[in-house]
Amino acid sequence: MPELVFFSGTMDCGKSTLALQIAHNRDARGLQGVIFTRDDRAGTGKLSSRLGLVTEAVEAPEGMDLYAYLVDQLSQGGKADYVIVDEAQFLAPVQIDQLARIVDDLGLDVYAFGITTDFRTKLFPGSQRLIELADRIEQLQVEALCWCGARATHNARTVGGHMVVEGEQVVVGDVNTAAEIVGYEVLCRRHHRRRMTSASSRAASLSPDVLPVTPA
């Protein structure tokens, strides 16, 4: 039976790499897929991995009807055996409903990849709807690591190396971004709560001892 599968994880845990691998494996068996993405780091209409792999994709802007797009492609003689959606957290809930309809009405497997929560630890609307509708949710097993070495569970937004907790939910950036502009870093819960990034941890380690010293 066709399924809507949600592959979730933090940034830098290999979601896009797995999406590319799934596409490669199916293409090698003669299957043809449609890849949707939004706001990929490599630019419009791209699905890219931090390992340097990249392929063409269909940009899915706000307001696009993904189900209607597939129906139009198929009615014009196109072929689609499966669908991959990267950066699925950026989709609107109604677009997630359209993915479920692709599974139910067109009989195609849909593999959606995305992060679950934003830099404020709040659910993305698209991810929330995927959790509500997906036939299966897979937590990626490749663990991203916090700067302290613990398992990273939270996505942090940084400006100038300092963590921020206010602003628009969607600001495109990456984990390999110059410190003076908006970037992202994965942290364990403890350091996300303390707003301690790798940059601020280095600064703290260089700070002088400010604890009061009582003479003997």
- The predicted-structure confidence for 187-204, as pLDDT tens digits, reads as follows 999 999 988 998 887 755
Cα distances (Å, whole numbers) of residue 208 to 28, 53, 212, 216: 59, 45, 12, 21
Residue 206 pLDDT > 90, yes or no? no
Q: Between residues 31 and 216, which one has the greater pLDDT?
A: 31
Q: What average pLDDT does range 7-28 have in this prediction? A: 88
**Higher pLDDT, residue 157 or 25:** 25
Which of the four pLDDT bands, split at 50, 70 and 90, describes residue 207?
very low
Question: Comparing C-alpha atoms, which of 133, 86, 143 is closest to residue 111?
Answer: 86
Determine if residue 14 is labeled as part of a ligand binding site: yes
Residue 87 is among the residues annotated as catalytic for this protein:
yes
This prediction has a pTM of: 0.75
Look at 169 and 23; give whichever has higher pLDDT. Answer: 23
34, 83 in Cβ contact below 8 A?
Answer: yes
pLDDT classification of 31: cutoffs 50, 70, 90: very high
Task: Give yes or no for a contact between 45 and 56, defined as CB atoms under 8 angstroms apart.
Answer: yes
- Residues 4, 133 contacting (CB under 8 angstroms): yes
Out of 87, 132, 138, 168, the active site residue is 87
Residue 146 annotated as part of some ligand binding site: no
